[in-house]
Amino acid sequence: MKIKEEKIKSTIKPYMKKARSGDWEHTLRVVEWVKILGKKRKDLNILITAAYIHDIGWSGIAPKGKLDLDEMLKLELLANKNSKKLVLEVLNKLKFSEKDINTVQRLVSAVDKHKAKKDDEGIILDADSLNKLCIEHLEQKYQPKSFIKMINLWEKVLAGRIKTKKGKEIYPELLLTLKNQIAKKFT
C-alpha cells in the first residue's frame, strides 16, 4: 500500500514536536537523505516512512531544550523502548498492512541499534548518520559544550556504520566540512 508522503508527514509531525529540540528538522533532513540514497528503489515509500518515524521514540522522553551528549546517551534506551509502541500506534492510524508495519519496525530498530544487516537498513542508517554531519544538526539539538564531544564520537563510530557506496564516498567530506565549521566557531 502506498500512502501519500504528506499524510505520513502530517500524522507523524505532532509526535516529533514532542521529541528533542531539533528532532523534527533532523527528521526532514533524514527523509531527504533517504530520497538520495534510495533513489529508484521500489520500497522507497517504506524507506521514507521509516525516515519520518525513526526517532518517534523520543516523543515525550526528553526534556525541552537542547541536550548535552551525556543526557542524550542516558535517555537513548528509554527512547528506543518507546519506539516500537509509537511506531505501531502511528502506522495503525495510517492503516499500514502488518507486513509494512513489520518492515518499518525493523528499519527503525536498525537505526536504534546503529546496525544494518540488509540493504534497506543500510539506507536508513546512512541517512540518519550522514544527516548528523551538518552544523544545523548540532546547533538545533545540542548544547555547544557538546559539539566537540559529538564530533569526536562521530569520527570514531560513524565511519564503521556507513553501509552504502554513496555514503562511504561522501562521509569523509561531510565530516571534514563539519569539523572546519566547528573549529571556526570555537577559535
* pLDDT, tens digit (0-9, with 9 covering 90-100), for 42-95: 999 999 999 999 999 999 998 888 888 888 889 998 999 999 999 999 999 999
Say if residue 166 is exposed, middle or buried (CB neighbours under 10 Å; 0-12, 13-18, 19+).
middle
Q: How far apart are CA 60 and CA 118, in angstroms?
A: 30
Q: How far apart are CA 101 and CA 88, in angstroms?
A: 7
Domain definitions of the chain by residue range: 5-185
DSSP bridge partners of 67: 142
Quickly name the fold that domain 5-185 has. Hypothetical protein af1432 (1.10.3210)
The per-residue pLDDT for 1 is: 56
Whole-Å CA distances, 54 to 23, 80, 158, 160? 10, 10, 17, 20
Q: How confident is the model over 22-40, as pLDDT tens digits? A: 999 999 999 999 999 999 9
Q: How far apart are CA 5 and CA 154, in angstroms?
A: 30
Q: How far apart are CA 33 and CA 55, in angstroms?
A: 15
